[in-house]
Amino acid sequence: MVDADDEFRRAYPNLHDELEGSEQCVVDGVRTSEEQAERAAARVPTVTDHVRRCETVEEAIEIVDYFEERGEVSEERASSLRSQLVSRGVRSFGERREPGEIERNGL
């Protein structure tokens, strides 16, 4: 009698190997705020989207300061973002976005 795993292995050998493999994916950026997740779903660029366009930590801190001054990000969140920028760098927020990329491709 043929068991389901053997049948699946024969029908889809590559998929079976991928599912059985032990490869791991490293995630460097994590959303920690429900508000941030909701804004991303609504396709409104967040402070994180703007930080991802920066080349240096100094530029990113200016962006965070601006969002904090306008009241679009809380003092606590701004402090957390600055801390992450200093300790882990700009790329900890994800790959760099080019100018106009959001307009062309969306978030």
pLDDT of residue 23: 67
Tokens matching residue 16 = 């079976």
pTM exceeding 0.95: no
At 103, the pLDDT band (50, 70, 90 cuts) reads low
**What are the distances in angstroms from CA 107 to CA 31, 47, 73?**
14, 12, 19
For residues 9 and 28, give the distance between their C-alpha atoms in angstroms, rounded to a whole number: 33
Q: Residue 5: which pLDDT band, with cuts at 50, 70 and 90? A: confident
Q: Check: CB of residue 83 under 8 Å from CB of residue 19.
A: no
pLDDT digits (tens, 9 = 90+) for 48-88: 989 999 999 999 999 999 999 999 999 999 999 999 999 99
Q: How many CB atoms lie within 10 A of CB 90?
A: 20
16-55 per-position pLDDT tens digit: 888 887 666 666 666 667 776 666 566 678 899 899 999 9
Q: SS3 letters for 5-49?
A: HHHHHHHCHHHHHHHHCCCCCCCCCCCCCHHHHHHHHCCCCCHHH
Instruction: Report the sign of the C-alpha dihedral through residues 74, 75, 77, 78, in that order.
Output: positive
